[in-house]
Structure 1
Amino acid sequence: MRDYEIYPLGDVELQSGRTLPQAFLAYKTYGTLNAAKSNAIIYPTWFAGLHNDNEWLIGPGKALDPDNYFIIVPNMLGNGLSSSPSNTPAPFDRGNFPLVTIYDNVRLQHRLVTEKFGITKLALVVGWSLGALQTFQWGTSYPEMVERIAPFGGTAKTRAHAQVVFGSLIAALQADSNWKNGFYTRQPAAGLAAMGRAYAPWGFSQAYYLEQLYQAEGYPTLKSYLENYWDKVFFSFDANDLIAMLRTGIHGDISATPADNGNFEQALNRITAPALVMPGSTDLFFPPGDNAYEVEHMPDAVFRPVESKWGHCFGIGANEPDSFVIDTHLKQFLQ
């Protein structure tokens, strides 16, 4: 049974100028919207993430407590639940799916929040990885609406090095002979496995591998960890959907909008809401130094790195000490 809702958006003109016909967002809510409509939180998903992957940070006694807040988790465009290559009718399906940007995602989420729920103020926008990029975008695109933002494990702009890494993941997948320019008749399994192997050294830190922390997850050897986890990690996703999300990440830049026209510092300066920025201390995709620069150009931001050996994946809820730190910081921030 489906555990999420669909919000139809009609034909949507994307930032690229192309039209995505009959677009829609899949979303799930937790808690109850109060009478004043003042307790809403937006918690976007991330690359290769679905709404239920965010649930580790939601629950009674946690910062995102459904007893206190109305939490909306919109699925990122391209993730297979919201409009994606795998569920869009021809001629915009599969390899023909247009580029969707972070700006497109947030603009459509804004429609969901305002049109569906009549919300005019958000108590918080929070997100990890590409969800963090969406969080920054909310802050700069709708500063009058957002009361707080808390991006963790992600930056306001995808720097060149991360763009190269994302591109290498796409290249690994497309090297499969079954790829057929995105019009495959069966999933390119070898390419999906190669993508997983290419992601593995970037998702976690050098210390994670050196200290064999994967053993605590039930993998006795590095070989078993790579073969039994990373070689299969992306198999539940459609290949075109993964590429669509990676392309969104490659083009991630909160200033790539009509309002800022590429002026990154100007876009950061327009994030007037209090901001709690939490990078992972060993994140190889989005190193803390990038966030430190961003915080310097934001009017009311706190830079609070999370000390972790889990690299980028400190923010997926799999390592309890990291999860506790993130939740504790968020509780303090919301108070």
Structure 2
Amino acid sequence: MFFRIISGTTLAILLALSPLSHAANSAPTVQEGDWVANEFTFNSGEKLNDLRIHYYTLGDRSKPAVLLLHGTNQPIKALLAPGFAGELFTPGAALDSSKYFIIIPESIGSGKSSKPSDGLRMNFPHYDYDDMVTAQYRLIKEGLGISHLRLVMGYSMGGMQTWLWGEKYPTMMDALVPMASQPNELSGRNWMMRRMLIESIKADPAWAQGNYQQQPPALKTANIMFSIATTGGTLNYQHKAPTRALADKLVDERLAAPVTADANDFIYIWGSSANYNALPALNRITAPMLIINSADDERNPVETGILSGELHKIKQAELFLIPASVETSGHGTMMSAKFYRDKLRAFLAATPQRQDKK
């Protein structure tokens, strides 16, 4: 088997994980590590030696395992913040880390996992969501030695990968929870904005075909434009910025923030969604599925009716749609787990757990 495990390090979650009274020394810690495949073959036919998948875990690995998948370009700390982890990982919560072994891998192209900015730049193999899921599966099976998952759950890109998990490995999990996602191919405004994000960076002379010395200026402006256009929620933005002055303040704050991303990494990871399409194989999904979306999701507009027209193809699936309000934030609503924590807990309680969890 072509793999090795690099010992993880431990870091304490600095933020209090619960809005309730919770002693600081009882907050769960995060184990951090790497799994490395000596050779990995991508769907493009390209190969990479020593593909590295960085991952984080919470809890005891003897407990039922939960795979949690992040969004595009989303830092893992967003999943450890009070609005998410504080609502889901604490004692008695849906994903209580004393009862589950929570695994959060960084996808190919993200964080400390292998990515173009490691050195290959635009010569890095072209990857897609299917490659990401394959690498996650190998991490779980080969790296961590886990044969079954209690739950696969993901947000945005991770939500789309959750659909693929249910199709590629239908008996691997007890339950599936894709969030802020749909199974259909990228289309409409969602894909058009992604294309413009990529093209804006490539059109910047400073990009220099990926051989830049400094991050091209278009990276910041294109990313801010994309974020405002596709995440935040119409009602929420109007509530935060009811005047031009307040709207300018929000923009100025984003423009003043430092650039922490890499242009080539951006091009690769946003482009990796180009061939995503889980629709043709929906009937392969056998695990019970709870689909969590928000009514104001800019990237997955509910008014298209795409999702509601496809649910009948899945053996057991329920859509939980969060109503739009000044408290929701469009595509980013799922980072406020208060909107669905009780529904998730009830769903898991009603979903049978296989005994051979490892």
**1:53 maps to amino acid:** A
Is 1:221 the equivalent of 2:246? yes
Which deviates more, 52-61 or 276-285?
52-61
CA distance in 1: counterparts of 2:202 and 2:111, whole angstroms? 19
**1:222 maps to amino acid:** A
1:174 to 180, 202, 210: 202
**2:275 maps to amino acid:** H
**2:264 maps to amino acid:** N
Report the counterpart of residue 302 of structure 1 in structure 2.
318
Is 1:278 the equivalent of 2:305? no
CA distance in 1: counterparts of 2:161 and 2:202, whole angstroms? 27
Report the counterpart of residue 102 of structure 2 in structure 1.
71
Change (3 A) 1:154 1:214: farther
Contact 1:133 1:157 in 2 (8 A): no
In our comparison, the structure showing a higher alpha carbon Rg is: 2
1:312 to 315, 318, 331: 331
Change (3 A) 1:279 1:236: same
Is 1:108 the equivalent of 2:139? no
Report the counterpart of residue 330 of structure 1 in structure 2.
344
SS at match of 1:226: helix
What is the Cα deviation at residue 220 of structure 1? 6.7
What is the Cα deviation at residue 2 of structure 1? 8.0
CA distance in 1: counterparts of 2:55 and 2:113, whole angstroms? 8
Contact 1:86 1:240 in 2 (8 A): yes
What is the Cα deviation at residue 111 of structure 1? 0.8
Contact 1:277 1:295 in 2 (8 A): no
What is the Cα deviation at residue 42 of structure 1? 0.3
Q: Which runs of 5+ in 2 are unaligned?
A: 1-8, 12-31, 350-358
Change (3 A) 1:60 1:198: closer
Q: Map 1:91-106 onto structure 2 (within 5 A).
A: 93-106=120-133
Change (3 A) 1:204 1:104: same
2:214 to 179, 186, 192: 186
Is 1:131 the equivalent of 2:158? yes
What is the Cα deviation at residue 165 of structure 1? 1.5
CA distance in 2: counterparts of 1:312 and 1:138, whole angstroms? 21
What is the Cα deviation at residue 233 of structure 1? 6.4
CA distance in 1: counterparts of 2:78 and 2:262, whole angstroms? 17
Runs of 4+ in 1 over 6 A off after TM superposition: none
What is the Cα deviation at residue 272 of structure 1? 0.6
Contact 2:107 2:136 in 1 (8 A): no
Report the counterpart of residue 275 of structure 2 in structure 1.
251
Contact 1:193 1:232 in 2 (8 A): no
Contact 2:286 2:316 in 1 (8 A): yes
Report the counterpart of residue 263 of structure 2 in structure 1.
239
Report the counterpart of residue 307 of structure 2 in structure 1.
291
SS at match of 1:6: strand
What is the Cα deviation at residue 28 of structure 1? 0.3
What is the Cα deviation at residue 207 of structure 1? 2.4
What is the Cα deviation at residue 206 of structure 1? 2.6
**Larger strand proportion, structure 1 or 2?**
2
TM-score (norm 2): 0.80
What is the Cα deviation at residue 18 of structure 1? 1.0
Alignment coverage as a number of residue pairs: 308
Is 1:52 the equivalent of 2:77? yes
TM-score (norm 1): 0.86
The Cα RMSD (Å) is 2.1
User: Kindly, what percent of the aligned residue pairs are identical?
Assistant: 27
Change (3 A) 1:275 1:116: same
